Amino acid sequence: MNIIVETDRLIIREFEKDDVLSLYKIESDPRIIEFIPWNKLRTLNECKRQIKKIMNGYKRYKLNSWAVVEKETNQVIGITQLVYSNKIKGIEIGTKILPEYWSKGYASELSEAVVHYGLYELGIDEITAVTDINNAGAIKSLINMGMKLKKYGYYKGTKSAFYSLGSRGHRQRT
């Protein structure tokens, strides 16, 4: 298991073949994909292909998608990523967490850790998060971790809010 970053309650690690059912559970939950109408993985086979693609990418790229594991239960509860986005012409963070873990601070905790990893371990200057303007939970999480509203606009056809954080505006973790 290759760990990317750890927090008090979470392990962010590379995906493994055995994570396919966990990924499917995340990707098929209508409450999660309500605010993410693009890039849906609809079947177990699509999830298998996606994990294989992600795992192959670990050999070539530092930017990728990772499993979010709750330490207490050792269960995959979400997915997070840092990827280059042509749409925003920069590095984008994305996160999906199972609804039973919403409103418990997990999204802020994991986003803070992944942003710190990107800014200070990978040397990225700025990281952007894009969310549907109606996704109040995601917006609250982004604000809680210190991201600032950059603009409103459309992202893949959806009216969205663009938040960002650079290494100068981010507090170092101790």
pLDDT value for 67: 98
Which of 103 and 172 is assigned the larger pLDDT? 103
Average pLDDT over residues 57-61: 90
- The whole-chain average pLDDT of the chain stands at 90
Rg (CA), the chain: 15
Q: For residue 168, with 0-12 CB atoms within 10 Å meaning exposed, 13-18 middle and 19 or more buried, which class applies? A: exposed
- Tell me the pLDDT tens digit for each residue of 91-123: 999 999 999 999 899 988 999 999 999 999 999
Which of 168 and 111 is assigned the larger pLDDT? 111
Per this entry, what is the length of the chain? Answer: 174
| Cα separation, 50 vs 40, whole angstroms | 11
Supply the pTM of this predicted model: 0.90
Own/partner pairs, 143-147, CB within 8 angstroms, 24+ separation = 144/108, 145/108, 145/111, 145/112, 145/115, 146/112, 146/170, 146/171
Residue 13 pLDDT greater than 50, yes or no? yes
Query: Which residues of the chain form beta strands (DSSP E)?
Result: 3-6, 10-13, 65-70, 75-85, 90-97, 126-132, 148-155, 158-166
Please determine, looking at this structure, whether the domain spanning 3-169 carries the CATH number 3.40.640.10. no
Residue 148 pLDDT greater than 50, yes or no? yes
Q: Which amino acid is at 10?
A: L
Residue 12 pLDDT greater than 60, yes or no? yes
Sequence spans of domains, the chain:
3-169
Structure tokens at 51: 């994990």
Residue 174 pLDDT greater than 50, yes or no? no
